[in-house]
Structure 1
Amino acid sequence: MDPTVRRRRRPALSCWECRRRKVKCDHSNPCAHCARHGKHCVYKPFARDDSAVSPKQRSGSPGLITTSTTTATATTTTTTATSAAATIATATAIPPSIGVLPNTSSSGATARENIPGSNQTPSGFDSAIRGGRDSGLDASGPCHVLDRPRRLEEPSASQAGAGNNSLRAPAPRLPGTQDWQPLLSKQRDWGRTRWVGDATEFSSIIACYAAILGKEHPHVASYQKPEIAPLIAEASHALQACKNSAKGIKVTRPTRGLPTPFAFLGAPSPEVSRKMASLYFENFESTHRILHAPTFWADYQRYCDHPASVQEEVRHIILLVVGIGSSLYEHADAAARQHNTEVVHQWIYAAETWLSGPLEKDRLDIAGLQVHCLAMLARQIFSMGGDTVWVSTGSLLNAAMQIGMHRDPSHLPAMSLLQAELRRRLWATILELVVQSALDAWMPPRISLDEFDTRPPSNINDDEISESTTVLRPHPKETFTSTAIQIALRASFPTRLRIVQFLNSLNSDRSYQRALALTAELTSSIQTNAALFAPKKNSPKPRCTPFHRNLLDYLTRRFLIPLHFPFSHRARSNPLFHYSLKVSLNAALALAYPEKPTPQGRRRRRRQQQQQQPAGNGKGEGETEEEEEEEEDESGKAGGDEDAFSRLLTTAGGMFREGLRCAAAAVSLELLAHAEAQRRDGSLRRSAHLRGALVRAVAHLLAHAEARVARGAETNVKLHMFLSMVLAQVRALEEQEQEEQGSDHDNDDDDRRGGSVEAAIARAARDSLRFCCGLLSARAAAEGNLAAVGIEGMPGFDFDGFGEEVAWESFFSNGWFG
């Protein structure tokens, strides 16, 4: 007999035993006939296949859904299914426009992936997820259980073909690991990703840049019009000229063409070197406690007297300290500053070479860690491999844990109080380098709070502890010491570590409620620090300077912008995310406008630099007691020379650069969105106060980007071009509004308006690239390298990647730009 079974018009709802005996099944679980005869009650829906399966084959098929033979188990399964269906139905009843689902721990896709299969699956789950399409069926009955395999397969297929619909509606949490993708074309950047949502305000700018590069983009056709195409061609030529100059400048890097080993290891004169080292201890040693000042100055004196008598690690420490301090030193002219940078690059490279020696175990000690921390700090200050600091922090963290830095000295063999405090300070510095580099690289921090028990350092000055100290008397937290800034920074480390894990860990809880809780914790730390280190009149020495407050605030506040980027970009479509927009904008403006010192403080600092300073003391000899007592409010407007912290942000890279990049993205987004909203509601001409403040902020950041290119901090010009296009787009909207004032226009006039805006954006891109090309050419000519002659195609260079990249993908979620 032909075993083929004809296709049924409706799915069979009877159990297999009743179908075999051709009796009516009551669809219970188990049915009455199976319970009466003691049979195993099995429900198997007829699939849409053409082959017959024997009863034995059916009983062993993996697609069978076997129910228990006891009534108690059936009741438990039905109750669980009904409860789960009711819970999910309640959650999915929230309108998509609201977008925030409080108290939900996973999306529908994740829940479907976690279904264990067989009789433990809640029977009402799928109908609730699918919005009740099959609400005519009883969710608690066996008919829903029978059709479960088909129901579980259909949503997966429909979801796979739905594309990125989930990105268009605000979600209660950041996407999971399935949305991680390589956004950049270079393999060294494939680990990066940015959760920034849909930034439609930047679509015109990105389309213009795509046209300049000759890449595809949905809106690139707008820049192929006859009146705009010549501007795009000129901008493309200017961009290539910038790349050629940048590649030539890179030739001078130590890793590109090594000079004679240790050819530039000589430090400046002892007087200048001492001033530079004093600048390091006055400023950078506040947040990154690496050295003990009296010990360093003793080693420095021995180095000056007998250079050959000091160990190699001490020599590297002295040169790195002098090099880091030289970044804040007021050099005679640009040529002297450029020469100093080249020398410091050689010192950094020599230290890195020493650290990467052939498995020398003698470098696994406190001195080796100090050299490593100083080298990583110097690399970021002098923009030398700042993008790869996260890779180096892995070696630093492993070396520190290898010698027990992650354990508090109280759990280790007996040691002096000085050594115990040095270990605590150094471990806090390592943690800070790890969390900052993980934020910049958008990578996991590779450390968690349960992997160390080292306590924070004590609030004492360096001159209050030595090898002979037997009793430690820490000051109250209200007393400012040389360690107070690091203690305040260490207090917020757990919160900032959780923020990095929130952003970069694969399986973290990315709910909006979690982001708000982290924001509250970090904001509380920022407010506490602001009150603790506020400028005070007649305060005793040592004093907390504006540089200290700026650096502490910068290293703490910069975490807020990446934390809220995924939600602030959706605030226009979901009002519940408006708080994220406010937090991002406030943090961006605070980073863009750091505190400025008063003229009195600036004169005092200049006097200190002009005088010889004694070892271990940051006070100038000519400073009077009256000037020591004078402490005005140092948050006033700056004038004259540039302050130290602004100079640092202008010349440094790594963590000192990425914070302002995020600030530029946040301020630019708000400016474009605000201008477009005013254009639509007709208030563009009537209300210009907020827009004017945002325009001034973007112009300030544009000047900062120009200074970075001019001073040699980086060769990348994309940030300057990006900000120029943002300002051009806003000004084009204002000019159009002025032209249209008093005249009636149809609503179909968007093509003319869009073309004018696009022409302004293209013109701004061309002018910015030409201007930056002039800056790079001037730098190349001053340095006398191959970039001055515009050499193309030099071996060993990647044409598409020059400088430390401004990842445009960090502003946008679209994956096309690669």
Structure 2
Amino acid sequence: MTEPQRRRRRPAVSCNLCRRRKIRCNREAPCSNCLRSRNATCVYEVLSPPPSPRRSIPASLAPAPPQQCPSPVSIAGASTGTGTGTGTSPAGTVSAPRVTSSPAQSDNTTAPPSSLEFEAMRFRIAQLEEQLSAPTRIPPAGPTGKPGLTTETMLESPMLGSYYLHQDVDSPGHACSQSVTHKGRMFGRSHWLHSLLPVRDMFDSVEIQMQAESSSIMSTLERCKHLARVIKLRRAPSWPSPPATELPAREVCDRLIDCYLQTSESLYRILHIPSFIRAYEAIWDSPDTVPNPAFLVQLKLVLAIGAPVYDDTYSLRTPAVHWIYEAQTFLSEPEFKSRITTLSLQINILLLIARQTANIGGTLVWISAGELLRTAMYMGLHKDPPSVPATSTLTREMRRRLWNTVLEIVLQTSKDSGAPPLISMDDFDAKPPGNFDDDQLTEEGAVPRPEGVFTQTSVARALRGTFPARLAVVKYLNDLSSTAPYQKALGLDKELRASHKIMMQALQRPSPQTQSQPLHVGTVLANFNVASFFMILHAPFFSLAYREPAYAFSRMSLLEYSLKIWQIVHPASSLVAHPGASPAPTPDIWKRLATCGHRTFIVATKQTCVSLVMELRAQLEDGESLGTAPFRADLLVVLHEILDWSLSAVKAGETNIKGYLAVSLMIAHTECIKAGLTKDEIPKSLVKMTADFLITCVPLLEDMLAREEGENPSGREQPSAATPAEEMDWADIWMMGSPHNFGGVDPISWAMDGPTGDAISW
């Protein structure tokens, strides 16, 4: 009886030569032993079909099954790039299939080349050419059709905390970050934190040096943090804060209303100005009459929004915070159906804008904007007024204006918070506001003015024309399904440039009879608004542009719009004004608005600083590699202007000195590189400069606290201890922090966010 042939339990994974010599094979193609012995071929045998490769060969090129292949063929790994015997291939390659050999075949026998081998080689070459020609390809989709993501812990230390960077799983080293998670909050690519990632190495080195050498700097930082907390508590009233009937003097109120009309109302149409002025004057004409509580809240919000541009020092910051608290208390009362009115919607809109100007819950405004959007939809504002029966011209136009403003707030807060807008162009059919002046709306049969004539609604109408392009940019950056193809970013840039050009042409048409000062401020605000979208569109790619020439357009565009934004924020800059640019009509008001006003100015200016620092660092590195120094000294001058601007914000009452400190460190780091200091010398030099910067800030905060205690002695009690060092957070380096919260700190929030309870905001 013949004994049955004994078969191996496991398939062979070594090449034939290593199996004969009984030596270890590293299973490469070709293996290391064959390379050392200069073997012409490195042949692998497989006794079972390997797992399906990630990219299969067309059926016409597939090998025949073993039982149909009487003369087996072994494909040489050196020629075809075959993987290991386990069916896997080296990183970055796709395995070509191998044909099963007969067990009876001799180990040192290789079949002559066949047409199948040549076809496999051609297929492999085509694959390699495709990979080389697609450096920015879309990452492979998962089972749900969405791109795969991997989570990488960026920073983790007792002081820094943990920051998680979500990138494409395909190439985490070169792909754009999709989102950043910090303190339980996820920020999309439009958030400013993404622009800070390329320079985080600088903050890492400084912190390590500070911990190693200088405990005095940490104690000074703790002192600044403690002073800032006491000042914030002094400014904040008790909660709840029922609306009071007291108002500032008539002259102060008149000035604040004028400041509001020149700035915010010129861009966001919320009020019917003649009706508002009549109700405002009735309060002063009849002092014994109790005003409507809702209108009184609306009036105080208007005063709060105008307060930043009242003077250079934002002296009315504390009253503005009190007015905002009163409005929040008013809207928090359990009155629901009675609040679905136009007046209540106006109060909601004004409250969100006031919170941004006074920096109360900066990034959290996006959450409140969602409630505002749903309230507006519940009132039917997303439907065009002609579908609503029996509407007058005033009602129809006010509904269009309010819906237009709601869209702007939703889009702006989504951009600043790094969150999806949760609205599309298919969700509404309301038309833009008509080209009316406010006094026309009360006339019977009013006809809108021609397109070439400026009205009080011209800026809002022109900005609405760019809304589809800006909405597409935010969706592209923050949507969960975004796969970050660079070609789509270039297409969005083209659409945004076209709509921006049309907007500026419409706003720059000569119209001397109605070209008023407030409209000019609105024009500059609209230009700044659109320019900030160009910045966030190209910011995710500007760090890649220094390694990959394919992204050079983003590098150029980011530098271009960074300088334009700084020209808008600081018209007195040493930069040469670009063609078509015009200075602010009221330099004092514009300077105050940029320094003390809307947080969007602060966010965009800090992003400008990072982009300029990265550009200068890249120029210095290129100069070292090329033997030249293409260093733009004018950019360094702009950085010093931004530094002075940051210090002026602290002098105007800003309690968070981290923004000023971060700008100082980045400028100092750039100058150290320019001076030729080594990597070991730079952190020591920066630590010394940090001490000098802090010496400048401590007296400012102490004087600020003294003023607050003198003006508001009945404020909240100060905290009993300074902020511990463990709470210092460099990723919050420019976060202005939520200076106030409406009520006590929730224990769960304390456990998640630490004792500070601060939200991530500028």
TM-score under structure 1 normalisation? 0.67
C-alpha displacement of 1:305: 2.5
Q: Paired residue for 1:123? A: none
Match of 2:497 among 508, 514, 523: 523
Q: How does 1:209-608 map to 2 (within 5 A)?
A: 209-211=206-208, 214=211, 224=212, 229-230=213-214, 233-254=215-236, 257-258=238-239, 261-262=242-243, 265-306=245-286, 308-330=289-311, 334=313, 337-338=314-315, 340-466=316-442, 469-534=443-508, 536=510, 538=512, 540-542=514-516, 545-594=519-568
Closer/same/farther in 2, CA of residues 522 and 634 from structure 1, 3 Å limit: closer
Contact 1:547–1:644, Cα closer than 8 Å, also in 2: no
Closer/same/farther in 2, CA of residues 197 and 577 from structure 1, 3 Å limit: farther
Q: Paired residue for 1:649? A: 594
Q: How does 1:788-803 map to 2 (within 5 A)?
A: 793=721, 799-800=727-728
Q: Paired residue for 1:699? A: 640
Partners in 2 of 1:806 and 1:646 — Cα distance?
20
Contact 1:380–1:386, Cα closer than 8 Å, also in 2: yes
Q: How does 1:728-743 map to 2 (within 5 A)?
A: 728-736=668-676
Q: Paired residue for 1:780? A: 705
Partners in 2 of 1:733 and 1:522 — Cα distance?
36
Q: How does 1:595-674 map to 2 (within 5 A)?
A: 642-674=587-619
Contact 2:436–2:457, Cα closer than 8 Å, also in 1: yes
State whether structure 2 residue 6 is matched by structure 1 residue 6.
no
**Matching residue's letter, 2:300:** L
Closer/same/farther in 2, CA of residues 419 and 754 from structure 1, 3 Å limit: same
Q: Paired residue for 2:171? A: 166
User: Which deviates further from its counterpart, 796-805 or 523-532?
Assistant: 796-805
Partners in 1 of 2:730 and 2:192 — Cα distance?
24
Contact 2:571–2:584, Cα closer than 8 Å, also in 1: yes
Q: Paired residue for 1:207? A: 204
Partners in 1 of 2:716 and 2:290 — Cα distance?
43
Partners in 1 of 2:136 and 2:187 — Cα distance?
29
**Matching residue's letter, 1:319:** K
Partners in 1 of 2:411 and 2:556 — Cα distance?
24
| 1:582-615 Cα deviation digits (max 9, x unpaired) | 11111111111217789xxxxxxxxxxxxxxxxx
C-alpha displacement of 1:199: 7.8
Q: Paired residue for 1:623? A: none
Partners in 1 of 2:334 and 2:717 — Cα distance?
40
Contact 2:180–2:194, Cα closer than 8 Å, also in 1: no
C-alpha displacement of 1:642: 4.7
Q: Paired residue for 1:815? A: none
Contact 1:550–1:595, Cα closer than 8 Å, also in 2: no
Match of 1:725 among 650, 656, 665: 665
Closer/same/farther in 2, CA of residues 490 and 29 from structure 1, 3 Å limit: farther
| 1:88-117 Cα deviation digits (max 9, x unpaired) | 98576356697234xxxx423x268769xx
Q: How does 1:17-166 map to 2 (within 5 A)?
A: 93-94=129-130, 99-101=135-137, 106-108=138-140, 110=141, 166=171
Please list every run of 5 or more consecutive structure 2 residues that lacks an aligned counterpart in the other structure: 13-45, 51-61, 70-84, 87-118, 147-166, 573-578, 738-759
C-alpha displacement of 1:482: 0.3
SS in 2 for 1:523: helix
Closer/same/farther in 2, CA of residues 542 and 463 from structure 1, 3 Å limit: farther
**Matching residue's letter, 1:11:** L
Closer/same/farther in 2, CA of residues 674 and 206 from structure 1, 3 Å limit: same
Closer/same/farther in 2, CA of residues 798 and 278 from structure 1, 3 Å limit: farther
What is the aligned residue count? 614
Partners in 2 of 1:88 and 1:473 — Cα distance?
70
Closer/same/farther in 2, CA of residues 447 and 578 from structure 1, 3 Å limit: same
| 1:41-60 Cα deviation digits (max 9, x unpaired) | xxxxxx99xxxxxxxxxxxx
Please list every run of 5 or more consecutive structure 1 residues that lacks an aligned counterpart in the other structure: 15-25, 34-46, 49-82, 116-161, 215-223, 599-632, 737-751, 810-817
**Matching residue's letter, 2:688:** R
Contact 1:204–1:758, Cα closer than 8 Å, also in 2: no
| 1:501-544 Cα deviation digits (max 9, x unpaired) | 11111013521111111111112222223333238595544356
| 1:619-660 Cα deviation digits (max 9, x unpaired) | xxxxxxxxxxxxxx9956789x95322211211243232222
**Matching residue's letter, 1:244:** H
Q: Paired residue for 1:73? A: none
Contact 1:488–1:529, Cα closer than 8 Å, also in 2: yes
SS in 2 for 1:646: helix
Partners in 1 of 2:600 and 2:508 — Cα distance?
24
Closer/same/farther in 2, CA of residues 473 and 91 from structure 1, 3 Å limit: farther
Contact 1:535–1:544, Cα closer than 8 Å, also in 2: no
User: Which deviates further from its counterpart, 302-311 or 286-295?
Assistant: 302-311
C-alpha displacement of 1:477: 2.5
Partners in 2 of 1:200 and 1:415 — Cα distance?
52
Q: Percent identity?
A: 27
Closer/same/farther in 2, CA of residues 96 and 407 from structure 1, 3 Å limit: same
Partners in 2 of 1:97 and 1:763 — Cα distance?
48
Partners in 1 of 2:223 and 2:192 — Cα distance?
33
Partners in 2 of 1:324 and 1:314 — Cα distance?
15
TM-score under structure 2 normalisation? 0.72
**Matching residue's letter, 1:295:** S
Partners in 2 of 1:320 and 1:789 — Cα distance?
26
